[in-house]
């Protein structure tokens, strides 16, 4: 049976994709070096290979041992602020190694390749709602490294028979409602993980910047539940299969924004969390962080219109509840 490789499958988003595919009878193979991921997030029914996703020896072994149909490439360095201090690492891991992986896959006649990109490629957009045609001007090496990989995919696609999908994730949050997986990194700096840790350990939460040009002065984000994002990957694989059957459709990457199309400010997030836990959350305002974007919301016409994706968890309270349950489990 043909299989799907998920790079970074022991990480936060990758592990949710693994469960989504297994729940739908796919066979999956995970490549992860466990730099931020954790072995305990790897589902039992999967094949797991510990190593670097661009290691040709490892890839040879996997492609010789299994019949591979698709690759979902999630593995990356992901911290935009951190990338300002380590640009070389970010360009190497996210751009150069991705090129090596794709070049290898092309030689092994891969059918489909989904690339995990990010809303960070847009930088600080002129208007908050961005569609896939919006001009990209990333403001961090993280965003630039992902944009560089996207550009490579566009240039390479006409030279190969691989069908590419590029997914620009907005702010991913929440955890598997069945409690099987969640954010593995206890030091994750994203707002949901930080807020949950502050709630569970009764620590003060810091809001970075309250002088942005938004209704309440704090940043606004389009938060998407990780399980809805995971289902978008399964639907995208099916979409690319159908696309393959139509002539003249091949070899142009299909690019989609992955968000809900509406956003919440950080203060709105805190208010919703206070209502959920029926308790006040202690917070303070800190300086703006380098690399933070003021306000960004996805236009979702393509993901909803072309992929016919129907999110099941578009609810701020559920996002907070599932994140909190996961953080509570791992801190026990
Ligand atoms: N979390 C978000 O809100 C968000 C938003 C936009 C885009 N993304 C993208 O989604 C993808 C997954 O992010 P995540 O939040 O799950 O991060 P994560 O750190 O939880 O997952 C990344 C996984 O990749 C593995 N990894 C890293 N480098 C590797 C290498 N060279 N070889 C093999 N494995 C390697 C890590 O061990 C980890 O398991 C990334 O590409 C990221 O850029 C995430």
Q: Is the pLDDT of residue 280 over 80?
A: yes
- Best of 5, 38, 57, 78 for a ligand 1 pocket test (most atoms within 8 Å of beta carbon): 78
Element (H, E) at 48: strand 47-50
* pLDDT tens digit sequence for 218-260: 999 999 999 999 999 999 999 999 876 555 555 789 999 999 9
pLDDT for 249 equals 54
pLDDT for 219 equals 96
pLDDT for 185 equals 87
CA of 26 from ligand 1 middle (Å) equals 21
Token pair recorded at residue 155: 């240039």
Mean pLDDT for the chain overall: 95
Task: Give 213's pLDDT tier (boundaries 50, 70, 90).
Answer: very high
CA of 227 from ligand 1 middle (Å) equals 16
Domain layout of the chain by residue ranges: 3-173+225-258, 191-221+261-331
Q: What is 3-173+225-258's CATH superfamily?
A: NAD(P)-binding Rossmann-like Domain (3.40.50.720)
* pLDDT tens digit sequence for 156-179: 999 999 999 999 999 999 999 999
pLDDT for 245 equals 59
Q: Which atom number of ligand 1 is nearest to the Cα of residue 38?
A: 39
Task: Give 329's pLDDT tier (boundaries 50, 70, 90).
Answer: confident
pLDDT for 330 equals 80
Catalytic residues: 142
The percentage of residues in the chain with a pLDDT greater than 90, rounded to a whole number, is: 90
C-alpha closest to that of 119 among 67, 167, 61: 167
Total-model pTM: 0.96
Ligand 1 neighbour 75 (Cβ under 6 A): yes
Q: What angle do CA 293, 295, 297 make, to 5 degrees?
A: 115
CA of 44 from ligand 1 middle (Å) equals 20
Are 234 and 228 spatial neighbours (Cβ–Cβ below 8 Å)?
A: no
Ligand 1 neighbour 55 (Cβ under 6 A): no
Ligand 1 neighbour 10 (Cβ under 6 A): yes
Are 67 and 49 spatial neighbours (Cβ–Cβ below 8 Å)?
A: no
Q: Hey, what CATH class is 191-221+261-331 in?
A: alpha beta
pLDDT for 200 equals 93
CA of 35 from ligand 1 middle (Å) equals 10
Protein residue with least CA distance to atom 3, ligand 1: 172
Ligand 1 neighbour 32 (Cβ under 6 A): yes
Which range (4-18, 252-266, 317-331) has the least confidence? 317-331
The arithmetic mean of pLDDT across residues 34-53, rounded, is 97
């Amino acid at each position: 049976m043909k299989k799907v490789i998920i790079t970074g499958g022991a990480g936060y988003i990758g592990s949710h994709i693994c469960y989504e595919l297994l729940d739908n009878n796919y066979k999956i193979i995970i490549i992860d070096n466990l730099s931020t991921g954790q072995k305990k997030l790897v589902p039992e029914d999967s094949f797991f290979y510990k190593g670097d996703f661009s290691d040709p020896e490892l890839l040879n072994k996997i492609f010789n041992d299994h019949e591979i149909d698709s690759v979902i490439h999630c593995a990356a360095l992901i911290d935009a602020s951190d990338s300002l201090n380590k640009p070389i690492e970010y360009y190497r891991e996210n751009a150069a190694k991705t090129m090596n992986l794709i070049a290898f896959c092309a030689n092994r006649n891969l059918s489909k390749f989904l690339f995990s990109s990010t809303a960070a490629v847009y930088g600080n957009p002129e208007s908050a709602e961005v569609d896939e045609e919006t001009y990209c001007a990333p403001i961090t090496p993280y965003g630039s490294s992902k944009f560089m990989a996207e550009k490579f995919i566009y240039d390479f696609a006409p030279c190969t028979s691989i069908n590419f999908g590029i997914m620009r994730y907005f702010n991913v949050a929440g955890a598997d409602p069945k409690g099987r997986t969640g954010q593995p990194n206890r030091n994750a700096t994203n707002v949901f993980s930080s807020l949950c840790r502050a709630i569970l350990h009764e620590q003060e939460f810091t809001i970075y910047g309250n002088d942005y040009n938004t209704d309440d002065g704090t940043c606004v984000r389009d938060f998407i539940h990780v399980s809805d994002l995971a289902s978008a990957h399964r639907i995208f694989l099916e979409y690319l299969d159908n696309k393959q059957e139509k002539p003249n459709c091949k070899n142009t990457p299909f690019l989609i924004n992955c968000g809900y199309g509406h956003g919440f400010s950080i203060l709105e997030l805190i208010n919703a969390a206070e209502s959920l836990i029926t308790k006040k959350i202690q917070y303070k305002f800190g300086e703006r962080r380098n690399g933070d974007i003021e306000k960004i919301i996805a236009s979702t016409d393509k993901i909803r219109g072309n992929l016919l994706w129907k999110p099941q968890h578009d609810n701020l309270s559920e996002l907070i509840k599932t994140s909190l349950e996961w953080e509570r489990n791992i801190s026990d």
